[in-house]
Amino acid sequence: MQVAQKLYEAGHITYMRTDSVNLSKVAQEQILKLVEKKYGPEYVQAQTYKSKSKNAQEAHEAIRPTHVENLSEGANDEQVKLYKLIWERTVSSQMSDAKLLKTKVTGTVQNADELFPDFSANGSRVLFLGWLKVDADARGEDVELPEVKKGEKLFLINLESFGKETQPPGRYSEAGLVKELESRDIGRPSTYASIMRTIEERGYVLKEGRTLFPTDTGEVVSDFLEQNFAEYISDTFTAGMEDQLDEISRGEREYVKTLKDFYGPFSKDVKEKDKLAKATNMGEAPADMLCPICKSSMIIKLARNGKFYSCSKFPECKGARTLEGLELEGPKDLGRPCPKCGIPVEDSGLDKNGKKKRKSTKVPELGHLVLRQGKFGAFVSCSRYPKCKYIEEDEEEKKKKMSGVQCPTCKKGEMMERRGRFGIFYSCSNYPDCKNAIKAKPTGNICPMCNSLMMLGTKTIPERCSNNKCPNHRPDKLEKK
């Protein structure tokens, strides 16, 4: 979208934030004249299109070149490629249909020492290119067969043998999701980009290349919504609500009554779901996976550290296994007090103002160290977690994680490597007393613009400021200015 924005700002294309497929009469006449002059009258055919989605954003004209006679525009390769795509799609939309002949060629092996089956090829022959003359990339993967005559001899050039298996449907990409929405008469919402950014940031999906993969958390959230709010996430509800809003805009429906009819039942449903248990259940475990304690069946559950098998009788039975089938044991007491909260402190009996405190019968809980199993292996922490967040670290391992760069916030700690839900980051060794953190390894240099730490960047940006509000966070853009 940023590349398209640059083309629009330079005056090369019309406004690009639209789903419209309509062309103005002036633009259409200009395109038809260009097609006749460049390709011939047989390629000219005025076309009018209608959007498939009734909720499409059509306040503007379709995206097209502002001057169709300009075959190439753009300040860099990305802009040139995008302009070429827009130009080809716009011009080809006002051209004659392509004429293809679907055909099958069958070859018979003759005069062979042994019996051979017939060889056949399914494909098509192009009789008239039409709009494919301009948009050649749209010809797809269909096999184009040469023109042959019945009885014509064919010569074998190469013979290969390979097996084919039925493949499952491909996963969605962002473009694929838009097409799916349109096929269901919903259309792309104006907040589509921010919605996609939100579900990625919350860890509901992972984006690998252009493909979207649901995470365990995403599957749990999806199942919860389908089970408890099926009416509100259905295609018919969204399309129906759009129709009602259109009726309000035309004065055919009362605004306040429509909102009351929706919000009354909806708010009631939300309040009822507040009493539901936390959604962590992801279905039944394999039948041969039994509880290590009571031998009951198990279910798949989702925790902070990922999926695991839990006893179906939880909380009466706390048996658990990893997905590999290994038994998960609870925290093991190491018999040592927590250095932070496990040592009793003598109480003076006075409050912070120096006044005598009221006597309490409550005995303070003292923490002790326990061995836990985490996402990245075993670690030692306080038994009172999360009230006490003390974690014991191996001194040798801790030294390896130190960056050697002093924390600029507290001036006492050192920036060290840590691992979080989004991967490796660097923060002060005095955490949680000092919560200074940056996304990448500090270089030790100080930003000349805001005095924040400089950190490692990418191949194209070797070093950049750790403060994302500082212009030096994107020095590549700074240099262009």
Q: Are 187 and 19 in contact (CB under 8 A)?
A: yes
d(CA 87, CA 95): 13
CB atoms within 10 A of CB 268: 10
d(CA 11, CA 254): 43
E strand residue ranges, 329-460: 332-337, 368-374, 377-382, 391-392, 402-406, 414-420, 423-428, 437-438, 442-446, 453-456
- Report cis status (omega within 30 of 0) of the bond before 189: no
Q: Are 415 and 438 in contact (CB under 8 A)?
A: yes
Positive/negative CA dihedral, 274, 276, 278, 282: negative
Q: Residues 15, 49, 255, 263: which is the catalytic one?
A: 15
Q: Are 345 and 367 in contact (CB under 8 A)?
A: no
For the residues of 180-214, what is the DSSP string, one character each? HHHHTT----TTHHHHHHHHHHTTSEEEETTEEEE
| Residue 407: both structure tokens together | 């924390």
Of 232, 224, 222, which is closest to residue 277 (Cα–Cα)? 224
15 is catalytic: yes
Residues classed as catalytic: 15
